[in-house]
Amino acid sequence: MPETEVSHEKNFLGDNLVPCSLFLTACGTDKPAGDNKVKVVATIFPAYDWAREIIGGNDAFDLTLLVDKGIDLHSFQPSAQNIMTISDCDVFIYVGGESDEWVNDALRQAVNKNIIVVNFMNALGNRLKHEEYVEGMNEKHEHHEHEDMPDEHVWLSLTNAQILCDAITDALIKAAPAQVDALKANAAAYKSKLAALDEKYRDTLAAAQGKTLVFGDRFPFRYLVDDYGLKYFAAFAGCSAETEASFQTVTFLAGKVDELNLPCVMMIEGTNHKIAETIIANTARKNQRILTLDSMQAKVEGATYLSIMEKNLSVLREALQ
């Protein structure tokens, strides 16, 4: 059985040895005869959108988004049809965090043993960060649980996005060597857009009056704030499933809003305003706005990765004025 860059190291999903689950892996038998299109499956919207840009409408590829129809990454459970879609694909792109614990079994059961797999968390190497406990977070969490858990929201960094687009491009070229020139050209053009937006973020946020955000919500934006030297306080860590904040957390966050004279309290998409409203009600002024940053944990119809990140920059500009 021919293998390319096969590794049996442990991944971030647990202690099981996982063949075919690291950065780029090819193993096993050939795809079925007569199946000409390269089948590409991406679990989340950012990965799907990056692959779509790199493929650029090339009809040699068939691209599928697995976590679709507004389903949050953290609550996704694959259906039998999802497993079948993965089973005979040629390129499989996923994050590799705690929310993807189901992937190992899906890959083991795959009919096509020649799947090329892109695991984002492995592709990032030493750029991978861990969730952190920040002062004021809900005390229901044990600090060490966050410190030991890799932060899977890797797509919320424009620098990471460029690295991960390289990983996707390499996988697509491996699956379709005849398309190398077109894939490389598309990838280079798209990465230049990511780099330009990254520069726009740096210029805009360097000039911002404020440097701190308060989230009445979980906080999946650690990669983003670290990229641009911002600080934050939040009710919960990035992957928390909690929906109720303690009195101590609300009081602490309200005090930070007052201390820093912040004009708004932040939240992420798809959650209610209850905690943010309670924080505002406990401030001195009680007139702060509620602003939403989109963490792209569910597909947004009609949007692209770049359009959402552009909108997020506008929100940050308003929040840090």
pLDDT digits (tens, 9 = 90+) for 258-283: 999 999 999 999 878 999 999 999 99
Residue 97 has a pLDDT of: 83
Q: What is the DSSP string of 160-182?
A: HHHHHHHHHHHHHHHH-GGGHHH
- In this structure, how many other beta carbons lie within 10 angstroms of the beta carbon of residue 234? 27
Residue 240 has a pLDDT of: 63
In tens, the pLDDT along 195-239 reads 999 999 999 999 999 999 999 998 999 999 999 999 999 998 866
Residue 74 has a pLDDT of: 65
Contacts of 111 (CB under 8 A, 6+ apart): 87, 88
Residue 136 has a pLDDT of: 83
Closest by CA position to 39, among listed 170, 187, 176: 176
Average pLDDT over residues 90-109: 91
Residue 239 has a pLDDT of: 64
Residue 6 has a pLDDT of: 31
Are the C-beta atoms of 116 and 25 separated by less than 8 Å?
yes
For all residues of the chain together, what is the average pLDDT? 86
Residue 83 has pLDDT above 80, yes or no: yes
List the domains of the chain with CATH numbers: 38-196 (3.40.50.1980), 207-319 (3.40.50.1980)
Whole-prediction pTM: 0.86
CA distance 234 to 78: 30
Contacts of 234 (CB under 8 A, 6+ apart): 134, 136, 137, 214, 215, 216, 217, 218, 219, 253
More reliable by pLDDT, 25 or 262? 262
- Angstrom distances, CA of residue 110 to CA of 44, 78, 153, 197, 221: 19, 14, 26, 38, 33
In tens, the pLDDT along 101-159 reads 899 899 998 999 999 999 999 999 999 998 888 888 876 544 444 456 889 999 999 99
